[in-house]
Amino acid sequence: MIRNEAELDERLSRPSVADVAAAAALKGDLLILGAGGKMGPSLALRARRAIEKAGAPHRVIAVARFTRAELVEPLRAAGVETIASNLLEPGALAALPDSPNVIFMAAMKFGTTGAEPMTWAMNTHLPGLVAERYRDSSIVAFSTGNVYPLSPAVSGGCTEFASPNPVGEYAQSALGRERMFEYGARTYGTQSVILRLNYANELRYGVLADIARKVFERRPVDLRMGAVNVIWQGDANSVCLRAFSHVEAPPLILNLTGPETVSVRYLANEFGRRFGVDPVLDGAESETALLSNASLCCRLFGYPLVTLGEMIEWVAAWVSAGGTTLGKPTHFETRNGRF
């Protein structure tokens, strides 16, 4: 079990053998834009550790506003270079160093309702600027499975060949992000991968943590979004690092999630069994859910190293022990696209 945040952060940033091989094959430095969010710090640390194990000379440069000052020192101590920058400010991108490899993570989701102009600026305008600035780089850009419509829960989820049909302005702006990187690839020949992620999980954040805390605190678990996809955050970051070997123009589109379609009712009952309580279940499952089919991702990169069962055990132990939370619910239950 993972007993504290130090162990959790070490586990999230621990590179796999495949990560080290990807780092060895990387041609040049790695620039991570938007590295101050839920996934960025552990991704930067994982990349730094993989590059060191590979004996490669590449720099890892993490760029974010870094409004949480406590994120900076651990990165610098590990050898990650940090740059504090508001990427929407005029001249901000031009001031950044060139890099042959760019990961784009900057985005806005929660709080978008009522802040639609900023949502579009972050999710669509900024990617257009990045696609122009780093036209000669290889780009791996995070997107979201929210660009898909809700699909039948028994369908296995949308594949990458499904037509996007985003619900709500957040999802629409996320599709705009993809279109900007596609434009860059078609116009400049930029080699790219677009990762449609849903949902990354660790012990302080994610769908599993949301459900576990509700069950533990005897709060209702909404069943209307009756099924979900989940993946361990470390495995998601591993795919991101290894995706540079698959960049294409036009971009390769890849669903990034776990292989299972997971019942929310099942998860609530599993956590209830571990906590010794009967979960409070609210409503009934709808026929449709936001689901992505990860078969292509699994074919390219193999199955996640951390299984669904392990995630459930770890999250249950963490919640039972009073482990910390990031205080950022996923709102996976949302069906109308309003975040």
Of the chain, the percentage scoring pLDDT greater than 90 comes to 93
Question: Once rounded to an integer, what is the mean pLDDT over residues 157-175?
Answer: 95
Tens digit of pLDDT for each residue in 103-132? Answer: 999 998 877 778 899 999 999 999 999 999
Calculate the dihedral angle through the C-alpha atoms of 77, 126, 204, 332, rounding to the nearest 10 degrees.
Answer: -170
> Could you state, in order of their start, the residue ranges of all structural domains in the chain?
5-147+159-200+230-258+291-304
pTM across the whole model: 0.96
Tens digit of pLDDT for each residue in 128-155? Answer: 999 999 999 999 999 999 999 999 999 9
Question: Once rounded to an integer, what is the mean pLDDT over residues 248-265?
Answer: 98
Tens digit of pLDDT for each residue in 212-244? Answer: 999 999 999 999 999 999 999 999 999 999 999
Q: What architecture is the 5-147+159-200+230-258+291-304 domain classified under in CATH?
A: 3-Layer(aba) Sandwich (3.40)
For residue 68, pLDDT over 90 is answered with no
For residue 161, pLDDT over 80 is answered with yes
For residue 267, pLDDT over 90 is answered with yes
**The pLDDT value given to residue 113:** 79
**The pLDDT value given to residue 62:** 98
Tokens of 131: 């696609």
Question: Once rounded to an integer, what is the mean pLDDT over residues 40-68?
Answer: 96
